[in-house]
């Protein structure tokens, strides 16, 4: 069984019952709790997994395995009896929303950086869902589950930009199908602005690389071999819009890209751009090794870049066909002030 993807927003994290996972060769020798946490994804904490293991909820074959430190072997199959989850129903909160469009079926918002989309461990309040419940009241669709009513796609906490939320079950189903298809046979279109270190050699290109769990973290993703059990096919198309400065070796010091998604995996743009050697400016997880580049910037630019506290990624464009009227809807949001100031700083180079 493959790891669920948070962008796909399936029913995994709300499901209970029996689940089975097979150990691939790359995971052989890992601790059971660490490996199982990675397979379950962000929905279940590692401490929760350890509790389930000690309670006898995990077995290999017909034998329960009650030691979290147990080492898994390639080819083994582990079963998990996931108990029924206690619903954590979010409460309405008067959080301001930047609404780009709204009707009886849906609402389109410009999500600010720093706002978590739906409640999860560590962020049970203060989310976009809490704000939407206050704004929409009983009209918000509940088909997406108790913790994320109306949500059909998501942006990372520190990614800003355009999102659509369903207000009816009909709209939720139609939009969910469109996002699952990623525009291959429909009219869904998504474009992101990304400020990266360095610049690709070509002005336009595609990154086709499978994504799976990160070896050192259950919350991060990495490029993995296509044959791995948790590998998910992922394709990102990019176009270089502007280059900034010179790195002294014939290349640019930074670049502004437009990225378009053919698939929608967790952290896809961030991982793919880091994979080709051009991580997002400000990305503390996937671009940490590039932080030293700040020291090579001019004195007037250095503090602006150093103070930018998130990945420089903005969902600029979202287009889709309206689930009720069939009209093609298109929404754009300019980058927020912090990212605009950042790109202006690089223009000095």
Catalytic residues, which ones? 156
Nearest residue to 164 (alpha-carbon basis) of 17, 36, 321: 321
* 3 state SS of 26: helix
- Residue 183 Ramachandran class (φ > 0 left, ψ -120 to 50 alpha, else beta): left
State the DSSP string of 99-132.
Answer: EEEE-SSEEEEEEPTT--SS-BTTBSSSSHHHHH
* 3 state SS of 185: coil
Give the separation between CA 272 and CA 208, rounded to whole angstroms.
Answer: 8
Give the separation between CA 288 and CA 280, rounded to whole angstroms.
Answer: 10
Instruction: Assess contact for 312 and 329: CB atoms under 8 A.
Output: no
């Amino acid at each position: 069984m493959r790891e669920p993807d948070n962008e796909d927003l399936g029913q995994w994290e709300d499901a209970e019952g029996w689940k089975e996972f097979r150990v691939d060769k790359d995971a052989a020798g890992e601790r059971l709790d660490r490996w199982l946490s990675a397979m379950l994804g962000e929905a279940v904490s590692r401490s929760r997994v350890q509790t389930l293991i000690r309670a006898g909820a995990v077995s290999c074959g017909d034998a329960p395995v009650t030691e979290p430190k147990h080492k898994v072997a390639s080819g083994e199959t582990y079963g998990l009896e996931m108990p029924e989850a206690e619903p954590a129903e979010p409460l309405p909160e008067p959080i301001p929303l930047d609404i780009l469009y709204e009707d009886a079926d849906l609402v389109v918002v410009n999500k600010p950086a720093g706002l978590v989309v739906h409640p999860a461990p560590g962020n049970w309040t203060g989310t976009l869902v809490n704000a939407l419940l206050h704004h929409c009241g009983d009209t918000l669709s509940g088909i997406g589950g108790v913790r994320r009513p109306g949500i059909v796609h998501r942006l990372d906490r520190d990614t800003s930009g355009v999102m659509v939320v369903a207000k009816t079950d009909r709209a939720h189903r139609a939009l969910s199908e469109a996002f699952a298809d990623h525009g291959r046979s429909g009219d869904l279109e998504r474009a992101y602005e990304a400020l990266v270190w360095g610049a690709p050699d070509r002005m336009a290109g595609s990154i086709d690389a499978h994504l799976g769990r990160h070896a050192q973290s259950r919350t991060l993703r990495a490029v993995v071999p296509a044959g791995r059990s948790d590998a998910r096919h992922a394709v990102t198309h990019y176009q270089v819009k502007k280059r900034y400065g010179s790195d002294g070796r014939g290349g640019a010091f930074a670049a502004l890209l437009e990225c378009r998604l053919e698939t929608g995996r967790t952290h896809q743009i961030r991982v793919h751009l880091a994979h080709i050697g051009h991580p997002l400016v400000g990305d503390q997880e996937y671009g940490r090794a590039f932080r030293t580049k700040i020291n090579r910037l001019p004195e007037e630019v250095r503090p602006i870049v150093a103070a930018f506290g998130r990945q420089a990624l903005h969902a600029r464009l979202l287009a889709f066909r309206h689930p009720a009227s069939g009209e093609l809807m298109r929404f754009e949001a300019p980058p927020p002030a912090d990212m605009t100031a950042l790109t202006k700083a690089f223009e000095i180079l």
